[in-house]
Amino acid sequence: MPETERMGAANLGEKDDFEKARAEAKCFVQEKYGLRRDPDARIFVFLGRWVKQKGVDYIADVTEWMLSTHPNAQLVMIGPVGDCFGSYARAKLEALRDEGRFKESLF
């Protein structure tokens, strides 16, 4: 465990403190990105360039299945589009979000 994480974990003390901090962080992310507030949600985050090398086209292709099959899943995609695969992913994810079914599960 990196030293910064170890220090942060040590400052939390009890497991209850950690769980409370985790719940607050999840709530913050859900509010910031317009996701449904759900303490039981699983938030999947992609942070990076939207390029073929990172597989964003595959992520875009499985998103509808993932969010339909796992109703407590939420997806946050952050980063700049870097190639045509990134453009494809952005267009596909925006279309999914804009159709309304995944409005509160996809950013």
SS3 80: coil
Residue whose pair of structure tokens reads 């494809």 in the numeric block: 88
pLDDT tens-digit profile of 14-53?
777 889 999 999 999 999 999 999 999 999 999 999 999 9
As a whole number of angstroms, the distance between CA 53 and CA 101 comes to 29
Element (H, E) at 42: strand 42-47
Residue whose pair of structure tokens reads 């267009």 in the numeric block: 91
Record the pTM: 0.77
Instruction: Tell me the two tokens of residue 55.
Output: 């597989």
